[in-house]
């Protein structure tokens, strides 16, 4: 059974952040397999308060990407899930499989992500040449 750790960009734990992945207050970490979804922990976005203090955001800033990458890598995250992913996707895909969900609902997104675990593993194996994945909203 393949298990991967995913980081979901969120402000409330129920929905993905509507803005870019790097704009979320938190990253909720889950372990998912084809059979199971388990919440692991919530980590704060270390760059969130810095963005709030500045009038203009950090979209595409490599320093912002590094600041977000470090805690996610420490947790063993392979896939980052957001509703939108900004220009830093170029930097982030060096360390993660970026995924864009067509649903804001985290629970639905994770259920749909379970269906594409093999695709995520294949993309992970591409190293720095990873491409982003779309997590489609399936019909119930």
Q: How far is the C-alpha of 23 from the C-alpha of 85, rounded, in Å?
A: 10
Place of tokens 């996707």: 89
Backbone angles phi, psi at 91, to 5 degrees: -75, -40
pTM: 0.88
- pLDDT reported for residue 62: 62
Cβ-proximal residues to 34 (8 Å cutoff; 6+ apart), any chain: 1, 2, 114, 115, 117
Per-residue pLDDT in tens (0 to 9) along the chain, 140 residues: 789 999 999 999 999 999 989 899 999 999 999 999 999 999 999 877 654 444 444 555 667 677 889 999 999 999 999 999 888 788 889 999 999 999 999 999 999 999 999 999 999 999 989 999 999 987 54
C-alpha closest to that of 77 among 29, 14, 131 = 29
Predicted pLDDT of residue 56: 45
Whether domain 4-119 has CATH 3.30.420.130: yes
Predicted local distance difference test score (pLDDT) of residue 140: 46
Angle between helix axes 106-114 and 117-124 (nearest 10 degrees) is 80
């Amino acid at each position: 059974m393949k298990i991967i750790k995913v980081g979901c960009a969120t402000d409330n734990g129920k929905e993905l952040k509507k803005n870019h992945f790097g704009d979320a207050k938190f990253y909720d970490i889950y372990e998912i397999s084809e059979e199971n979804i388990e919440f692991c922990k919530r980590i704060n976005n270390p760059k969130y308060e810095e963005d709030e203090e500045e009038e203009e955001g950090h979209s595409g800033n490599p320093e912002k990407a590094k600041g977000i990458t470090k805690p996610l890598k420490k947790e063993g995250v392979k896939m980052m899930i957001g509703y939108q992913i900004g220009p830093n996707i170029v930097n982030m895909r060096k360390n993660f499989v970026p995924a864009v969900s067509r649903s804001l609902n985290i629970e639905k997104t994770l259920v749909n992500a379970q269906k594409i675990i093999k695709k995520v593993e294949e993309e992970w194996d591409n190293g720095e040449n990873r491409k982003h994945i779309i997590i489609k909203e399936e019909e119930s």
